[in-house]
Structure 1
């Protein structure tokens, strides 16, 4: 079942229906890049009540926290970086949610049944993607295999949670194909006080109506397919599709809910191998994704308000890699266009007001990176140049004076790791990265600021790891200096806007894993980060309200995890404690004091034989009432006179999954 590794982080990936590996990448080198922290979840370990990548990562890596907005679709915060400050990709292809409130973040647009591994790159060290300011998370989906295989699983859980999932795959040496489908529904979860999601919103300015306060939390269907063709001895073509249909999703954190969120993603990748001395692999890939998002106050009291938003991103990347003078060298060209369009009105006429003016963000990027091992040293470096144009449609009503924007940026990094013995090493890296404002920050009605500059991150990371017999320790530190950090702030009353400020985020994490014997392991990790504004006067001079709080918003608290794990290849059991202390908060911009918490989760899985397996678990065993994300006003741009709600996490809940593989 779960294989112990000295590189293990200490948690079981919570959403696997096949082996899932979470790779925390610190320094790329010619050695396998999974030289950081790995979490290996065997096919038996299907510990998930639902498919939520944000929650899974939040429970696995202490430096990741999810932003609770609903029962599904929770966003990701990595070391204090979130939203456009963090790249989330699916098979290296971008998908951009349509909702300006991040009801549908990129992490939502993948099925747990698809996932083979998750790569977590911390810091400004990814030059292959546009806008990797503070980190990058890439979800690698499964490839089909030869023969004929399949799996059917059913999950039942608290709050009327139901999920069915099936995949079928097969092929020969030339062509392999995979198709999959899943459907899930859930009632509203209750927090530790017994309050449903809608009951938590009763004190808001937009409470739920009597007709809808007992509605289900959501309904969702996913379908996906992948075809891999091996053309001759040195060519490979991969075609993939993913569809997501989420309906009637309750978002009590915000004044609106999502009646529809439809996603379609297409990708093609063509690879050529061993073309000659200067090309070990040449790859050309193209992707296209579109998200349509219909949100409104249909389930709330008062007058109806509707917002229709859609987002499309399409891109092409060409990349060539060669081993020259024992150095792995990669050159790439990266082109993408992101369109974002949104209106607001009522059900009779939802196009009354332009919210996002059909804006195109066009990027041309070129990059290079090199990897080399010199004796005990692993060295790498990267360089990227970006030219970006953001073009709003001035022909739309009220947009005639809207400015187009142009940005040019250079990103670069150097990294090194020294292996001082066979049991230990230390590393240090420094880099600069950037990200441009998005159309929401520039143009959103009554909120956007067309004068925003791009954000520049200059960061230093360092760390050490060592193995003492059965004990593996690793610690990392980072210092991030942020110039022109894009920050949402209160101007006056419920009026908000965006501004550039200078800020810093510092922090670190420590992991310790100990193998008691072949079956028993202890896994642990702790992370801390602190974000501050360098000069509160930058905001105070812009706002009518006082801006005196130096704390940055949305910075997760000190958080730790410890688990006792048993695994004898047939049975798996785990008891884990996740705890956090109270977090710092920006009182001037909507945040408030949130207490610390400690929760106990229990998990068990077993092979039943003949292809059947059973898993079960209890989350939040002691039924604690707690929250993990605050009420920063930057989380919403819907001008309904209310700031985001602090939404509590689910109370005690149970789940069990029965699976059959053939």
Structure 2
């Protein structure tokens, strides 16, 4: 069988341009959508719709779908488990909902973070807001919200018609020899709809810009979902059922790997337009069985760690129109999380037998929520939003035990006795407030500004992990920094006071050019950071250093500015439509005692030249990242150097049904250290020498993708 590839003149130029260029992340051959829009401190919307250009790594990790948005970054994890970071706030400090469900990380390393439960090909829309999040979009977070929605149920256009649709997608990436496949299919009449979506990806460990293997970064994942829906009379009832099966996923910046993650969920949603307004009600449940250990010759060992998590809850929201263009939203939510985290004994291991180590036993975290939100159009230029949200958070955990009660485990024995002697139940009464305003100055400018008070209660691992032995503490770590952590029963909730503004200048038609700048400032009272209580040598390497840390409250400041622009360069018959797009951002984070916060992205920018001509869509993109020298000295965070890296990609729409994509990421195979990657523990485990280095980024990759729609 023979294949031929035809490129437009610009596509050829992209592939041959600038011999000193490279790109920062591997680019997947296929992705379910394109990311558009910019992130401000107030109320923008970022959507993923249709078949369009692939985003970095989006073939496997949904957290990468937003990687071209100013102020957004991804903290490296496993191949499908990156942790989103918005304006310096990461992980649990963000409210992430998947089809309205709240999903908790049921893992001491947060290997199964919420976005890992949906594949990029299953994403229909992403709505992301930073900082000044409306109270209706969730609480128990201080940095912003990400709402991910699957493709909506589709129905036939008229009675008597039967609608059927579907697609098959294949993708491959050379840097980790990954292969992905996705299938979707659905059938519906005007009232009933049923659809299936499945995605599978498998990858080996990737290689860096020097051609060296980054050990223990291989993975395999399968996600499947079934959607059934019925509509009529302005009412819609949707039931989604799904599963995830991950038999293995390596984490090069953690001491452990994922050896199994099995999850099942059910999500029932009702929306209706009623005489008095709109009603949205949801009931959901998810169960996760998660194992950590070792599975690959790239990092051997034996230490099973098992976790069972269960999320369940409901959310009811009513929207009522008011006089003079106003809208009132009222809501009630409940979310319950149950956690069992235990480590079976290892026969023959004196330190890890004969008992089962109870890391968190009978963990409970329940939230009850009431909120009210008022939108008002004051006049043709001014609109406002005011929201108030109250939450009661109850958490608790049962008695614990170490592996044994011998002198070898004295630190854990004493810690278990102290933990068991104390009252574990905690109750937090949290209040959120958001006040926003928008001003349309005319056809060429608009401004947004506001204030938010946001609150987050500690998660179960921050409050209830108790082990004080070095081995036990190293197992508590979702930061990828090579250190060890222990919880703190006396933690207070974090309270963030955020001010943000956004100025958007553009041409009257919003077609030729736009510039948007968003400065922000957050003061966080009782920011949950850590205090050093000891030190150790990772893997007993005397030249390597690690810290033992206890979660602790400290006041902190986070501030920065995001910039996004778009310029239409030309539109003619020869070159088609040319546009120059870009973003830039800088984030600074520090405790009020002067220590720098962990995993703050240095000054960075991206510039993309895009061409659309007929069936072709081509992109040349540059990623520019400054030197990272403001690091968390307490966590021994490594500095990273500046780099400039590039990628090129092209997509061709071959008729109505076939879409082909090809690209080269990290075009000139630049070696660089990922400033959000943590440290390379798997490399240290193999070499048993030297010091902990920053995790390397992806080397050059040739990426291919194809989608056939039917």
Alignment of 1:302-313 (within 5 A): 304-313=302-311
Q: Distance in 1 between matches of 2:378 and 2:29?
A: 39
**1:239: how far off?**
0.7
Gaps of 5+ in 1: 1-12, 199-212, 537-549
Q: Is 1:330 matched up with 2:329?
A: yes
Q: Distance in 2 between matches of 1:365 and 1:152?
A: 41
Q: Distance in 2 between matches of 1:533 and 1:174?
A: 56
Q: Identify which of 58, 61, 72 aligns with 2:69.
A: 61
Say whether the 8 Å CA contact 1:21–1:116 is kept in structure 2.
Answer: no
Say whether the 8 Å CA contact 2:30–2:169 is kept in structure 1.
Answer: no
Q: Distance in 2 between matches of 1:302 and 1:271?
A: 50
Q: Distance in 2 between matches of 1:52 and 1:97?
A: 16
Match of 2:165 in 1: 149
**1:97: how far off?**
2.2
Q: Is 1:653 matched up with 2:689?
A: no
Match of 1:122 in 2: 130
Q: Distance in 2 between matches of 1:302 and 1:260?
A: 16
Match of 2:364 in 1: 360
CA spacing shift, 1:24–1:495, aligned 2, 3 Å = same
Secondary structure in structure 2 of the residue aligned to 1:107: helix
Alignment of 1:326-405 (within 5 A): 326-346=325-345, 352-375=356-379, 376-394=381-399, 398=416, 400-402=420-422, 403-405=424-426
Match of 2:108 in 1: 100
**1:44: how far off?**
4.0
Match of 1:282 in 2: 279
Q: Identify which of 569, 572, 583 aligns with 1:525.
A: 583
Q: Distance in 1 between matches of 2:560 and 2:38?
A: 16
Secondary structure in structure 1 of the residue aligned to 2:463: helix
Match of 2:490 in 1: 451
70-79 or 345-354, larger mean C-alpha shift: 345-354
Q: Distance in 2 between matches of 1:308 and 1:161?
A: 28
Q: Distance in 2 between matches of 1:120 and 1:644?
A: 34
**1:407: how far off?**
0.4
TM-score by length of 1: 0.87
- Cα deviations by residue, 1:110-130 (Å, 9 ceiling, x for unpaired): 011111111111104231323
379-388 or 619-628, larger mean C-alpha shift: 619-628
TM-score by length of 2: 0.81
Say whether the 8 Å CA contact 2:367–2:391 is kept in structure 1.
Answer: yes
Say whether the 8 Å CA contact 1:24–1:121 is kept in structure 2.
Answer: no
Q: Distance in 1 between matches of 2:261 and 2:45?
A: 34
CA spacing shift, 1:294–1:645, aligned 2, 3 Å = farther
- Cα deviations by residue, 1:599-627 (Å, 9 ceiling, x for unpaired): 10111000122612210111111111223
Q: Is 1:316 matched up with 2:314?
A: yes
Say whether the 8 Å CA contact 1:363–1:389 is kept in structure 2.
Answer: yes
Q: Distance in 2 between matches of 1:571 and 1:431?
A: 44
Gaps of 5+ in 2: 1-26, 156-162, 348-352, 403-415, 468-485, 536-546, 572-576, 683-687
Q: Distance in 1 between matches of 2:354 and 2:100?
A: 35
Q: Is 1:411 matched up with 2:432?
A: yes
Q: Distance in 2 between matches of 1:528 and 1:350?
A: 51
Q: Identify which of 581, 585, 597 aligns with 1:552.
A: 597
CA spacing shift, 1:351–1:318, aligned 2, 3 Å = farther
- Cα deviations by residue, 1:290-347 (Å, 9 ceiling, x for unpaired): 2221111454767521211122211111111010112110000011111122112445
Q: Distance in 2 between matches of 1:418 and 1:324?
A: 21
Alignment of 1:419-434 (within 5 A): 419-434=440-455
**1:160: how far off?**
1.9
- Cα deviations by residue, 1:25-59 (Å, 9 ceiling, x for unpaired): 6477xxxx6xx36566641434565221222322x
Q: Distance in 2 between matches of 1:68 and 1:591?
A: 14
Q: Is 1:564 matched up with 2:609?
A: yes
CA spacing shift, 1:41–1:272, aligned 2, 3 Å = closer
Say whether the 8 Å CA contact 1:425–1:464 is kept in structure 2.
Answer: yes
41-50 or 407-416, larger mean C-alpha shift: 41-50
Q: Distance in 1 between matches of 2:171 and 2:354?
A: 38
Larger radius of gyration, structure 1 or 2? Answer: 2
Secondary structure in structure 2 of the residue aligned to 1:516: strand
Secondary structure in structure 1 of the residue aligned to 2:420: coil
Q: Is 1:603 matched up with 2:666?
A: no
CA spacing shift, 1:628–1:40, aligned 2, 3 Å = same
Match of 1:218 in 2: 219
**1:241: how far off?**
2.0
CA spacing shift, 1:314–1:585, aligned 2, 3 Å = same
**1:266: how far off?**
1.6
Q: Distance in 1 between matches of 2:38 and 2:355?
A: 44
Say whether the 8 Å CA contact 1:23–1:120 is kept in structure 2.
Answer: no
Q: Is 1:590 matched up with 2:588?
A: no
**1:19: how far off?**
4.3
Secondary structure in structure 1 of the residue aligned to 2:461: helix
Q: Identify which of 481, 504, 523 aligns with 1:481.
A: 523
